Amino acid sequence: MRILFFLSAAALAGCAAVAPPAQPDAGGALPPSAVSEPEQENGPPEQVPAELSIEYFAGMRLQGTGLTLGTVLEDNTAYTRYTISYLSNGLTISGIMNIPKGEGPFPLVLLNHGYIDPAVYTNGRGLRREQDYLARQGFAVLHSDYRGHAASDPSPDERQIYDAGLEYSMDVVNAVHAVRAADLPRVDARRIGMLGHSMGGGIGLNIAVAHPNLVHALVLYAPVHADAWQNFMRWRDMREEGDRTREAMGARAENPEAWDALSSLTFLDRMQTPVALFHGTNDADVPVEWSNDLATELERRGKNVTYTRYENEAHEFIPRWNAFMERSTQFFREHLTEQPSIEQFSPPLPRADERVTKKPFGIFITPDDSPVQPERFRGYHTGADYELLPDEAARDLTVRAVCDGTVVLAQHVNGYGGVVVQRCTHRGEPITALYGHLALTSVQAIPGTELQAGDAIGSLGEGYGAETDGERTHLHLAFHRGSTVELRGYVQDAATLDAWIDPAILLR
């Protein structure tokens, strides 16, 4: 950890290797000991967590859809500012979005505002300076109003007790899903940064521990405590929820398990996101000691954190605000803008973009509503399926490597038939590329073989036989983050899906 101290002039004057995979089938059937994600029930996703815990939030089925760019609020030489709305598990959420001028695509940064009384809150309020600055630096910026604010739907939760921002965290995660579903041509929604101020920093921590693969760079600006009880006690008299919360959950001494379960502090070991933490020593709203403690806890767990303290700054930075934004911008550029050369990824088949007609990446299917019948799987699709074009046969097509890298698996896998897995890199990080439903007899590569993008791998398997394990003739292509071989073709919640990358992002 790097800790940086900035003093005022007055103050200065005064002083790995790939693990052998278990053998799940393509639907993700793992041994019970390997299953960590709870099964999701049929029907619409819940709009309020049934249980107040980080663990429950991590396993919820989150659906963000219907992103709409509304009124143009500002159109300057650097960016266009829009009102937006989207659906968060069925609730309409308002916000703003700044999209820079130019071709893009521009990496996306989400801004999480701090507590503002919903009775006085207006669209996009809370981080207007930061919205403008980051858009002028070439980042697409999305600021969610959260439920119950501005033009958003109210929370349907009638309990009205303190939830450590879990509902707001749902809305922010769903903003990412909604942008990805909208596929805006000038927004790169696979390169995600997040900046959270005060309560918004607590939301960022909730997301970082519950969905560790979602955000690639997290800026915490005078964040609240990572311990839910500390936050509740500091502000319990300012909100009507105080007495109801004590009745429902008790004090920490009476019910420590419940308060620990609601605290991101309990789950910091899960964090993978690099963190830039900033706090002012004269913050009268959130004590600087809280960030001191957070930095210590992150360092103790071996996390990537840089902590900057600004002498004499308050809860909202003024003298050092420009320095804060320069450092934040540098941090986002370091983690969001490094890209591989466009030549690194090649289509696996000719006319590849015309072939994804039935099962694109991320589609949620069940045996009843799948575009392919009969269907035996259920869940979110972790790859993209490339179909035969009219008058083509399986043996007519050669599947080619999409990237430079080493073959780490070539074998028959239940649910796929022939499978080849190749280890490659993306933005300097390891990923694996899985090619499924191949005729294994046509595959010459063995583990250890080095392939260049465009090298032949093999032919597609004949449909409805052993070569495809009973499936139709098609190619299942999936990219998974990290070096571990991951064979699942479906996962049961959107949070788990974040560990995969949409092939369309890498191949465009």
The secondary structure of 235-285 as a DSSP string is HGGGSTHHHHHHHHH--TTT-HHHHHHT-GGGGGGG--S-EEEEEETT-SS
- Alpha carbon distances (Å) from 459 to 196, 345, 467: 49, 19, 10
Look at residue 282 in the predicted model and tell me its pLDDT: 97
Average pLDDT over residues 371-377: 92
- Taking the model in full, what pTM does it have? 0.63
Question: Residue 75: in which H helix or E strand, if any?
Answer: strand 64-75
Residues 74-123 have pLDDT tens digits of 999 999 999 999 999 999 999 999 999 998 899 999 999 999 999 999 99
Residue 82 is predicted with a pLDDT of 98
| pLDDT, tens digit (0-9, with 9 covering 90-100), for 447-506 | 999 998 889 999 999 999 888 888 899 999 999 999 999 999 999 987 788 899 989 878
Which residue, among 428, 375, 372, 426, has the nearest Cα to 402 in the 3D structure? 426
76 contact partners, CB below 8 Å, separation of at least 6:
none
Q: What is the pLDDT, as a whole number, of residue 493?
A: 86
Least reliable range by pLDDT among 139-148, 157-166, 225-234, 313-322: 157-166
User: What integer pLDDT is reported at residue 237 of this predicted model?
Assistant: 62
d(CA 145, CA 140): 16
> What's the pLDDT score for residue 423?
94
In our burial notation (b when 16+ CB lie closer than 10 A, e otherwise), range 202-220 reads bbbbbbbbbbbbbbbbbbb
Q: Is the dihedral of CA 436, 441, 444, 449 positive or negative?
A: positive
pLDDT in tens, 401-426: 999 999 999 999 999 999 999 999 88
Assess whether pLDDT exceeds 90 at residue 197: yes
| 2-10+66-336 matches 342-507 in fold | no
Given CATH 2.40.110.10, say whether it is the number of domain 342-507.
no
| Tens digit of each residue's pLDDT (9 = 90 or more) over 260-300 | 999 999 999 999 999 999 999 999 999 999 999 999 999 99
- pLDDT over 90 percentage in the chain: 71
pLDDT category of residue 21 using cuts at 50, 70 and 90: very low
Q: Which residue has the tokens 């799940």?
A: 24
- Mean residue pLDDT of the chain comes to 88
Residue 33 has pLDDT above 50, yes or no: no
**pLDDT tens profile 122-144:** 999 999 999 999 999 999 999 99
Judged against a pLDDT cut of 60, whether residue 204 lies above it is answered with yes
Both tokens assigned to 132: 């403008």
* pLDDT score of 7 more than 80: no
- pLDDT grade for 372, boundaries at 50, 70 and 90: very high
CB 222 within 8 A of CB 291: yes
pLDDT of res. 42:
56
CATH 3.30.9.10 given to domain 2-10+66-336: no
Kindly list the domain boundaries of the chain, sorted by start residue.
Answer: 2-10+66-336, 342-507
CA distances from 500 to 105, 339, 377, 399, 459 (A): 20, 17, 18, 21, 24
